[in-house]
Amino acid sequence: MSMTLTLLGTGTPAPSARRAGSSYLVRFDGRTLLFDCGPGAYSRLLQTQALPGDISHLFLTHLHYDHCADYGVFELVRWDQAAGNGAELEVVGPGGTRQMTERLFGADGAFAADIAARTRHPASREIFERRGGRGVRRAPAPRVTEWEDGLVYEGDTWRVRAAPMVHCEPYLHSLAYRLETPFGTVVFGADTAPNSRLTGLARNADVLVHMCHFLNGPGVDPRMSASCSGHLDAAVTAREADVRKLVLVHLAPEMDAPGNQERVRMEAAAAFSGPIIVGEDLLTIAVADGKRPAISRRTAHQR
Ligand SMILES: [Zn+2]
């Protein structure tokens, strides 16, 4: 049994046909988890032959739109197609996630008219029943867990730890996530400047997925380097955390200019000796092969 990571979106807020907004799909042992859901993620998900209903949990690193703008369409399709069957989506994110969810799907939310029509109109009722729906149709109601210090989110055979990053406080809060499964460990570094909490969270992970928003060098504005990571920041974090593999994402269009990916690979390799993958949308990466010992279960917060 193996564990795979599929990069759905490896871009930034810059419009790009090549790179959708941040989003990553993790699959292991019949489970499918989604980390971030930036613009274009829903379309990329369909390109993998997966469906929103395959996904049980969505983890949001932060509420910049390039990481969450497709949350609306993702959840609406998931809810609509399920027709009342199956579990509600579990959503984990920083403070503000519950408010965003309510403002999207709540009674006074952005999609209130759509949801009212789909739950009450006779034609929608016919579609609902054709999809297997029975009884009163309920509105979408994702179950939101907002991160708090010390939270360990427990799945059935897996768990997720998080740590607050250094990004755009106090306006929004960014979380890095560490997913531990019997098949491997992957860390999503989120959007952040390098910091010791990320290095600690990523310690000995099989894969670190980290932002490579710019090319480190003297020309970088300190306001940028104080809130985001460049290629050498990612490589040094990977080295200090002793991860096995580094996956670079959140790639600005300049990264795709001639010669820049080569520079990224060469300079990052001087700082980190493990495999370095410059991300592309729809690339699937083996996190680790084979089954590991089961993770110990010291439950701080069970769901
Ligand atoms: Zn951000």
Distance from Cα 222 to the centre of ligand 1, integer Å: 16
pLDDT of residue 100: 98
Does position 166 have pLDDT exceeding 50, yes or no? yes
Q: How many CB atoms lie within 10 A of CB 72?
A: 20
pLDDT of residue 292: 61
Interatomic CA distance for residues 57 and 188, integer angstroms:
15
pLDDT of residue 19: 98
Distance from Cα 257 to the centre of ligand 1, integer Å: 22
Does position 136 have pLDDT exceeding 50, yes or no? yes
Distance from Cα 165 to the centre of ligand 1, integer Å: 11
pLDDT of residue 43: 98
Distance from Cα 133 to the centre of ligand 1, integer Å: 39
Q: What is the average pLDDT score of the chain?
A: 94
Distance from Cα 3 to the centre of ligand 1, integer Å: 27
Prediction pTM value: 0.94
CATH number of 2-292: 3.60.15.10
**What string of DSSP letters covers 76-131?**
HHHHHHHTT-SPPPEEEESTTHHHHHHHHHSTTSTTHHHHHHHHHSHHHHHHHHHT
Contact present, 116 and 122 (Cβ < 8 Å): no
Residue 300's pLDDT band (cuts 50, 70, 90): very low
pLDDT one-digit tens code per residue, 200-249: 999 999 999 999 999 999 999 999 999 999 999 999 999 999 999 999 99
Distance from Cα 62 to the centre of ligand 1, integer Å: 7
| Cα atoms found within 13 Å of the Cα of residue 265, Cβ hemisphere only | 10
Domain locations in the chain as residue ranges: 2-292
56 DSSP assignment: -
Q: Which residues surround ligand 1, an ion (CB under 5 A)?
A: 64, 191
Residue 150's pLDDT band (cuts 50, 70, 90): confident
- Active-site residues, by number, are 66
70 DSSP assignment: T
